[in-house]
């Protein structure tokens, strides 16, 4: 059938003549006629130049051109999203600067392409290009399996370098929306803290937010606070999996009814004479044993949420540091900050801890 349709002799005759011949040849002409009429309707919507005298060759050219235009628009959209990437804390992220310049140059090349896209441009459309895969990690981070995260992390580190790969894994990149998209009154939940929009004239809702921040945070880092000690704060989030955050970062979700099923806390760089200890109260199990230095406190895959926890310092250096922590509890919100082993959360009320924040400061 394909060789018949593609033969030069047939392509020279009219489209309607070829279909009429096929109608005679087929045993199910009624069904084919229905398909033909539907196809004619779609072709007419695609181009007003389609007529009874249009040849197969002309139809093929029209469809090929339309497909190529669609692929070109899709490739440009991917490049535009990459150029719209911003770091949620730093805005324009310095390590991305050179890559954005390369993308701007390539975007101009794609804009001027006629006909079929180049191999690199086509790889943007099918998601195989590193630029497309970086965007996949930014947009779909929390839905990826640990194996997918590992593969993407390896690729992104190799192509873009560790600073960018780490920022992606920590959920620090957002795709900045257009101005028209930002001015919305619909509630959108963030992965982490909410970021309010600036007030605007006529705005009826003061708490409108930027679009969702996707991704998984992973490495504790030194912040601008010189007394804040870098930490790795791990949480296992219901239906999401293990995610890692840093000192002072909100570890978890808000308003998504996703409880934390376990947690861990560790110093990024060990400090002699200082140990972080913590325990968790888990639904259906009660208070679990105290653990320390990155050990996991909680469950996985049992559907048991952490309802509360406590943390404390031990060791000869403990008096020189202050450990504080707080939680975001289902139907309660942010609860008061605690320290020195005091319990944070609830017991026996069936309320999930949805997120937590941990600070360790040198006195």
> Quick one: 348 and 243 in the same domain?
yes
> How many structural domains comprise the chain?
3
Between 255 and 190, name the one with better pLDDT.
255
pLDDT digit string (tens) for 277-290?
999 999 999 999 99
Q: Are 344 and 338 in contact (CB under 8 A)?
A: yes
pLDDT digit string (tens) for 116-142?
777 777 777 777 788 888 888 887 766
> Quick one: 43 and 103 in the same domain?
no
Q: Are 298 and 236 in contact (CB under 8 A)?
A: yes
Burial of 84 (0-12, 13-18, 19+ CB in 10 A): middle
Specify the DSSP class assigned to residue 219.
-
pLDDT at position 122: 77
pLDDT at position 211: 27
Closest among 75, 212, 35, 49 to 141, alpha carbons compared: 212
Helices vs strands, H then E, count in the chain: 11, 16
Say if 272 falls within a structural domain.
yes
> Quick one: 95 and 31 in the same domain?
no
> Quick one: 154 and 261 in the same domain?
no
The last residue of a domain, from among 155, 174, 193: 174
Domain span at residue 339 reads: 231-362
Does residue 248 surpass a pLDDT of 60? yes
Rounded to whole angstroms, how far apart are CA atoms 231 and 249? 10
> In which band, very low, low, confident or very high, does the pLDDT at 2 lie, cut at 50, 70 and 90?
very low
Q: Are 335 and 326 in contact (CB under 8 A)?
A: yes
pLDDT digit string (tens) for 313-346?
999 999 999 999 999 999 888 999 999 999 999 9
Rounded to whole angstroms, how far apart are CA atoms 104 and 96? 12
Over pLDDT 90: what percentage of the chain?
28
Say if 210 falls within a structural domain.
no
pLDDT at position 132: 83
> Quick one: 21 and 95 in the same domain?
no
Say if 188 falls within a structural domain.
no
DSSP code string of 67-113 = HHHHHHHHHHHHHHHHHTEEETTTBS-GGGHHHHHHHHHHHHHHHT-
> Quick one: 279 and 239 in the same domain?
yes
């Amino acid at each position: 059938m394909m060789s018949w349709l593609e033969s030069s002799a047939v392509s020279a005759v009219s489209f309607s003549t070829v279909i009429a011949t096929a109608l005679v040849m087929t045993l199910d002409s009624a069904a084919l006629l229905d398909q033909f009429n539907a196809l004619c309707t779609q072709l007419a919507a695609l181009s007003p130049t389609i007529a009874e005298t249009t040849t197969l060759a002309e139809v093929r050219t029209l469809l090929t051109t339309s497909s190529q235009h669609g692929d070109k628009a899709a490739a440009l959209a991917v490049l535009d999203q990459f150029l719209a990437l911003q770091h949620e804390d730093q805005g324009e992220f310095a390590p991305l600067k050179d890559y954005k310049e390369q993308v701007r140059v390539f975007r101009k090349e794609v804009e001027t392409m006629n006909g079929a896209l180049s191999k690199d441009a086509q790889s943007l459309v099918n998601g195989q290009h590193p630029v497309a895969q970086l965007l996949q990690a930014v947009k779909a981070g929390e839905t990826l399996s640990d194996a997918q995260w590992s593969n993407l992390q390896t690729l992104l580190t190799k192509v873009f370098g560790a600073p960018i790969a780490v920022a992606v894994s920590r959920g620090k990149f957002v795709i900045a929306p257009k101005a028209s998209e930002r001015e919305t009154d619909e509630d959108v939940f963030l992965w982490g803290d909410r970021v309010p929009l600036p007030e605007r004239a006529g705005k009826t809702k003061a708490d409108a937010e930027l679009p969702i921040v996707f991704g998984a945070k992973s490495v504790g880092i030194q912040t601008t606070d010189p007394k804040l000690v870098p930490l790795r704060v791990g949480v296992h989030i219901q239906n999401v999996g293990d995610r890692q955050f840093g000192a002072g970062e909100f570890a978890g979700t808000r308003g998504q009814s996703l409880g934390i099923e376990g947690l861990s806390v560790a110093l990024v760089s060990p400090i002699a004479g200082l140990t972080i200890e913590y325990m968790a109260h888990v639904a259906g199990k009660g208070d679990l044993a105290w653990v320390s230095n990155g050990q996991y406190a909680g469950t996985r895959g049992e559907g048991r949420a952490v309802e509360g926890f406590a943390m404390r310092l031990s060791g000869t250096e403990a008096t020189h540091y202050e450990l504080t922590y707080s939680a975001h509890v289902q139907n309660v919100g942010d609860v008061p900050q605690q320290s020195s082993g005091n319990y944070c959360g609830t017991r026996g009320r069936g309320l999930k801890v949805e997120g937590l924040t941990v600070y360790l400061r040198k006195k």
